[in-house]
Amino acid sequence: MCSIIGYSGKDDAAPLLVKGLKRMEYRGYDSVGVATESNSKIELKKGVGRVGEVNAKFHLENLPGKIGIGHTRWATHGKVTDVNAHPHPSNSGQIAIVHNGIIENFEKLKNDLKKEGYNFLSETDSEVIANLLQKNYQKSKNVKNTMINTVSELKGHFSFIAMFDNGQLAAARFHEPLIIGVGEKNYVLSSDVLGFIEQTDEAIYIDNGNFVLIDQDKIQIFDFDGKEIKPLITKVSKEFADVYKGDYAHFTLKEISEQSETIFKAGEGTKEAIVETADYLKHAKNIYLTGSGTSYNASLVGKYLLSKYAKIKSESIISSELQFSPDSIEPNSILIAISQSGESADVLEAVNIAKKADCKIISILNSLTSTLARESDIVIGMNCGPEIGVAATKSFTSQLIIWYKIIQELSNEKMEINFQEISGAVSKTLQEHNNIKKIANEIKEISDIYVLGRGIHYPIAIESALKIKELTYIHAEGIAGGELKHGPLALMDSKVFVIIINPEDSTYQDTLTSAREIKARGAKIIGISDKYSDVYDFWIKLPSTNELTYPIAETIPIQLLSYYASLEKDTDPDYPRNLAKSVTVK
Ligand code: G6P
């Protein structure tokens, strides 16, 4: 996944593009580039590295002109090299493009263009867009017709921005996000609101299958057949302004620390959607829960809660797996899709499959303007504010809170859930940070960590292992306590650390027994519990609370441990290698 940005207005384009790209780096950050137009000439600079590095090396922000495009890349087709970085110029140099997505028929297009004499410099699929535009432009000499002809030839998922050396910008959206920030005689085309939020809070969300032409201060939107569409300007949430690290060293730390507050915001203002969801769940024949990564892990918690507290059976399905068993979705069922971004391609594909089976789509979402929001019948908002750190933290606990609210509603509000107490427990576990920092130092050289939990703590163990992997690059695995003796015990020795999630509830004694079995094999034990035991080599204290507060409280120390261990290992917690915040390609 990548971020694209384009600027046309009265200010110098390059510094604004660089700023916007920095904000959107979470979408992909292996290489970066900017191109601008000035005096009918396109100038372009790009290279491998983060925005700050490439800018320091090539002075991207000094490129001249009031019109420009930029890109941060997360490699899919072609290695991470300077040449593969975007923007890509067309052969004539009269057009340059930036692209997010995948052009599925690029090989055929490339071969056809080669036969007509076009050369290709990069290994990317994206470069065909530049040359296809050039070919079509040379024929029609008209940007609108060029766009209509070009998009009709592209297969796959794309949003791209093309800059012509006559100073025009053109951009198209097909299953990848594209938003326009509308300033005073300035337009910013962007993958995300974060690309322009410092300049304006007025935006036009481009619909799927539409393209845009910007010429000086004139903007026109068309569908792919060329029919003009009236632009609809909306105000973006002022929450997006909250995209600064403030006093925090990293977004990840900021986002972990915000959780005592975000607890109160989850589901806020969407009471009706929660009531409606509960009603559907009561009467549904089949209920499927889906998501990717952390959001899938939240679905496992949801499945547990629905079964235990509402006696409702559901099935959790990893979104990317659904395409291989589409028939497992019974017609007229309910699909609850969980996603922070609402843009994960796998989740959208799962939704697509469920829609074909006439399922009701309910989504648990942070980004309420996302594609998933528009594809859903009911939307429940996490409202936890922008999550920039690639590893999901506060969105996970918000997803859990929404599940709590759903089961509370299913109990006709009889079930008491003390959100104040949950928030208090989060604050208390956050105070463990000095202790956790020391433990982070102990695990930095370790190559295997296991996280063990039972019952509702098992999905938390899986999520914890994911956090450790993402942030520290240490191999980690979540284990259901009872499964220890069915395999993982063979791996226990003095080189291994095991995190035991062991609050004093119905799982406590069995999990303590597991801890002793592990300790007897020489592994080191980190106990996360409200009750001290001498079996723990390291103890992270939890506040004593109840079954619904524990999962959230015990999530925090492992997020912090992963964060501090990443610092010990000198890796960047906000932007882990090879990952992207929302993966919009399959
Ligand atoms: C990526 C991110 C994960 C995230 C997953 C699902 O893999 O790196 O942190 O959990 O996508 O994202 P979503 O936006 O759908 O919740």
Q: Is the dihedral of CA 322, 158, 180, 150 positive or negative?
A: negative
pLDDT at 242: 60
The CATH number assigned to the domain holding 375 equals: 3.40.50.10490
pLDDT at 241: 55
Q: pLDDT for 55-82, tens place per residue?
A: 999 999 999 999 999 999 988 888 999 9
Assess whether 53 and 145 both reside in one domain. yes
What b/e string do you get for 236-268 counting C-beta neighbours within 10 Å, with b at 16 or more?
A: bbeebeeeeeeeeebbbbbbbbbbbebbebbbe
Mutate which of 340, 394, 464, 579 to test ligand 1's pocket (most atoms within 8 Å of Cβ)?
340
| CA distances from residue 241 to 153, 174, 385 in whole angstroms, order as listed | 38, 27, 9
294 Cα–ligand 1 center, Å: 6
Assess whether 474 and 563 both reside in one domain. yes
In a domain, 87, yes or no: yes
pLDDT at 240: 58
Tally of CB atoms within 10 A around 232: 10
Nearest Cα residue to 68 out of 164, 159, 197, 210: 164
pTM of the full structure: 0.78
Assess whether 309 and 347 both reside in one domain. yes
pLDDT surpassing 80 at residue 247: no
Q: DSSP letters along 481-515, please?
A: GGGGGGTGGGG-STT-EEEEE--SSTTHHHHHHHH
Residue where a domain stops, chosen among 350, 385, 417: 417
Q: pLDDT for 357-382, tens place per residue?
A: 999 999 999 998 888 999 999 999 99
Assess whether 237 and 249 both reside in one domain. no
Mutate which of 397, 473, 583 to test ligand 1's pocket (most atoms within 8 Å of Cβ)?
583
In a domain, 111, yes or no: yes
Atom of ligand 1 at shortest range from CA of 346? 15
Per-residue confidence band for 120, with pLDDT thresholds at 50, 70 and 90: very high
Does residue 583's CB lie within 6 angstroms of at least one atom of ligand 1?
yes
pLDDT surpassing 70 at residue 42: yes
Q: pLDDT for 282-294, tens place per residue?
A: 999 899 999 999 9
Assess whether 95 and 158 both reside in one domain. yes
- Is there a contact between 366 and 387 (Cβ–Cβ < 8 Å)? yes
Distance of alpha carbon 21 from alpha carbon 51, whole angstroms? 7
Mutate which of 290, 296, 341 to test ligand 1's pocket (most atoms within 8 Å of Cβ)?
341
Atom of ligand 1 at shortest range from CA of 576? 8
Does residue 320's CB lie within 6 angstroms of at least one atom of ligand 1?
no
- Is there a contact between 246 and 385 (Cβ–Cβ < 8 Å)? no
Ligand 1 atom 8: the closest Cα is on which residue?
581
Ligand 1 atom 5: the closest Cα is on which residue?
293
359 is catalytic: no
Does residue 199's CB lie within 6 angstroms of at least one atom of ligand 1?
no
- State the catalytic residue, choosing from 10, 45, 581, 586: 581
Per-residue confidence band for 338, with pLDDT thresholds at 50, 70 and 90: very high
Assess whether 231 and 255 both reside in one domain. no
pLDDT surpassing 60 at residue 238: no
Does residue 582's CB lie within 6 angstroms of at least one atom of ligand 1?
yes
Residue where a domain stops, chosen among 241, 263, 285: 241
| Residue 412 CB burial class (10 angstroms; 0-12, 13-18, ≥19) | exposed
397 Cα–ligand 1 center, Å: 14
Q: pLDDT for 296-319, tens place per residue?
A: 999 999 999 999 999 999 999 999
577 Cα–ligand 1 center, Å: 14
Phi first, then psi, for residue 330 (nearest 5°) are -75, 140
231 Cα–ligand 1 center, Å: 31
Does residue 579's CB lie within 6 angstroms of at least one atom of ligand 1?
yes
Per-residue confidence band for 414, with pLDDT thresholds at 50, 70 and 90: confident
In a domain, 150, yes or no: yes
Assess whether 427 and 461 both reside in one domain. yes
- Is there a contact between 166 and 137 (Cβ–Cβ < 8 Å)? no
Distance of alpha carbon 578 from alpha carbon 244, whole angstroms? 23
Ligand 1 atom 7: the closest Cα is on which residue?
293
- In 376-444 the beta strands, taken as DSSP E runs, fall at 378-381
291 Cα–ligand 1 center, Å: 8
Which residue type occupies 153? E
Assess whether 323 and 196 both reside in one domain. no
Assess whether 529 and 429 both reside in one domain. yes
Q: How far is CA 538 from the centre of its chain?
A: 33
In a domain, 584, yes or no: no
Does residue 344's CB lie within 6 angstroms of at least one atom of ligand 1?
yes
571 Cα–ligand 1 center, Å: 19
In a domain, 582, yes or no: no
pLDDT surpassing 90 at residue 232: no
The CATH number assigned to the domain holding 200 equals: 3.60.20.10
Pair of tokens at residue 162: 């093309």
Does residue 32's CB lie within 6 angstroms of at least one atom of ligand 1?
no
Assess whether 285 and 396 both reside in one domain. yes
340 Cα–ligand 1 center, Å: 7
Does residue 363's CB lie within 6 angstroms of at least one atom of ligand 1?
no
Q: pLDDT for 500-512, tens place per residue?
A: 999 999 999 999 9
Residue where a domain stops, chosen among 400, 417, 434: 417
Does residue 340's CB lie within 6 angstroms of at least one atom of ligand 1?
yes
Per-residue confidence band for 447, with pLDDT thresholds at 50, 70 and 90: very high
Residue 242 parent element (H or E): none
Assess whether 269 and 179 both reside in one domain. no
Residue predicted with more confidence, 240 or 327: 327
In a domain, 583, yes or no: no
pLDDT surpassing 70 at residue 243: no
Average of per-residue pLDDT values in the chain: 94
Distance of alpha carbon 141 from alpha carbon 125, whole angstroms? 25
Q: pLDDT for 180-224, tens place per residue?
A: 999 987 999 999 888 998 888 888 989 889 999 999 879 999 999
Ligand 1 atom 2: the closest Cα is on which residue?
581
Assess whether 77 and 212 both reside in one domain. yes
Residue pointed to by tokens 């006709």: 412
Domain of residue 304 covers: 245-417
Does residue 351's CB lie within 6 angstroms of at least one atom of ligand 1?
no
Nearest Cα residue to 124 out of 85, 155, 95, 72: 85
525 Cα–ligand 1 center, Å: 29
In a domain, 427, yes or no: yes
537 Cα–ligand 1 center, Å: 33
Q: How many folded domains does the chain comprise?
A: 3
Tally of CB atoms within 10 A around 174: 19
Does residue 252's CB lie within 6 angstroms of at least one atom of ligand 1?
no
pLDDT at 236: 74
In a domain, 329, yes or no: yes
- State the catalytic residue, choosing from 2, 66, 135, 405: 2
Q: Looking at beta carbons, which pairs linking 535-541 to residues 24 or more positions away fall under 8 Å?
A: 536/500, 538/435, 538/438, 538/439, 538/442, 540/429, 540/432, 540/435, 540/436, 540/439, 541/432, 541/435
41 is catalytic: no
- Is there a contact between 143 and 213 (Cβ–Cβ < 8 Å)? yes
